[in-house]
Structure 1
Amino acid sequence: MNFEIFDTDYITIIFVKDKLNYTGREIEPLWAFKVFNVQKDNIVVFRGKMEVPIDNMKDLKDIKREKDIDIPIKSDDAINFVIEHFDNIDLKTIYLRQRLLVCITKEIIEDNCNLKLRRDGDDLYYNNKKLSVCIACKGIVSSKIHLGINVKSKGAKHIEIIGLEYLGIKDIDKIMKDIAIKYAEEINKIEKDIRKTLPLY
């Protein structure tokens, strides 16, 4: 697999140059170590189809819905961000990091298309059409986040989706890199702020 690795102070960025599909297996612990030999906190960025079978889903609401009406998480073309943090945090903190990632994504996409997106929790919409999917979860050794953003406006059957191309964004690689770099910068700044702040007495 063809990829580039960029190390920052507290998190490693891995840009995958080849097409890689997201199946839900990538959110399992130590995936970046198994595939890219990276043991540090990391964010892996790649583009490909997105189709998550029920066995790989982590959101109980999605699992119950899938059982009832056969609705997979699916996109014909998407950019994906899979993040892994190894600090011993609770599930609430990893969800806060997830929201940070989504807010960064919203800001970068809006800056590149001059359109206003709507954020509802961890989901992004334009004209009530769904642009993204996102999940955060916690395991024994690490916490993980997946964010998938549609590039093309097709693939899902149960809901109207919209893609970056419809929003007028042509340089998809730039969007991928900008989001990953900005997230890494924010994590690095937070870690440095922790290390300079005196405690309350």
Structure 2
Amino acid sequence: MVKFMKKIDFDTISAVILEEFKTYTGKEIEPLWAFNTFDVQKDSIVGFIGPMNVKIENMKDLKDVKEEKDVEIPIQSSEAINFIVEHFDNPDLKMTYLRQRILVSTAKEVIENHGNLKLKKSGDDLYFNDKKLSVCIACRGISSGKIHLGINIKSGGVPPYVSAVGLNDMGIENTFEIMEEIASIYAKEMSKIEKDIRKTLPLF
């Protein structure tokens, strides 16, 4: 079983921070990865640092697959913060994408606060000085909705046609702290939404 450094439990979701490096391959976005890997049996956000190396057969974005079908490994980074999110409340794909946007907006705010800088958000992507900082995908299976967000720590190792930037290029070094803060804020926000649902009277 993969070691984790910290697990923060909220009412309906757990935030798990891994201790060791792990490569994101795209297979981690399959259903029940968190349960199979470290026995988390509820909604979860898992954060870990490591390379991104996603081959075309593991990509979920059909538009990207069509555009990059001749590239063997279209998503690459030598070192990134990776988040894997899973929700089991039978979310439709639109709900999963809305949650994705909350996660990306949370990451934007946390990074801006730590770096005293301004990022640009376009859809589910983050940019600094017009260079791409992140990749993200939302998808849905039979039992759950899944999200992957990858934030470059280093700008090396990306495909040669991508103009990329990493947190280190922006003068940001405290990546574990940023990873834990993003995961905790997202989990807390999701837990609070669930509580709000349970206190609101219906319209008649």
Please name the residue that 1:166 is paired with: 169
Q: In the alignment, is the contact (CA less than 8 A) between 1:133 and 1:147 conserved in 2? A: yes
Please name the residue that 2:189 is paired with: 186
- In the alignment, which of 112, 115, 118 is matched to residue 113 of structure 1? 115
Q: 1:5 Cα shift?
A: 2.2
CA–CA distance in structure 1, aligned partners of residues 77 and 55 of structure 2: 12
CA–CA distance in structure 1, aligned partners of residues 168 and 57 of structure 2: 30
Aligned residues: 201
Please name the residue that 1:2 is paired with: 3
Equivalent AA in structure 1 for residue 154 of structure 2: K
TM-score when scaled to structure 2? Answer: 0.96
Matches within 5 A, 1:108-147: 108-147=110-149
* Structure 2: 5+ residue stretches without partners: none
Q: 1:70 Cα shift?
A: 4.8
Q: 1:69 Cα shift?
A: 4.8
Moved over 2 A (4+): 68-71
Q: Does 1:56 align with 2:50?
A: no
Q: 1:66 Cα shift?
A: 1.9
Q: Does 1:77 align with 2:99?
A: no
CA–CA distance in structure 2, aligned partners of residues 20 and 122 of structure 1: 23
Q: In the alignment, is the contact (CA less than 8 A) between 1:65 and 1:71 conserved in 2? A: no
* Structure 1: 5+ residue stretches without partners: none
Please name the residue that 1:99 is paired with: 101
Q: 1:8 Cα shift?
A: 1.0
Please name the residue that 1:148 is paired with: 150
CA–CA distance in structure 1, aligned partners of residues 102 and 87 of structure 2: 14
CA–CA distance in structure 1, aligned partners of residues 148 and 161 of structure 2: 20
Q: 1:68 Cα shift?
A: 3.9
CA–CA distance in structure 2, aligned partners of residues 171 and 68 of structure 1: 36
Q: In the alignment, is the contact (CA less than 8 A) between 1:71 and 1:158 conserved in 2? A: no
RMSD of equivalent CA atoms: 1.0
Same amino acid, percent of matched pairs: 60
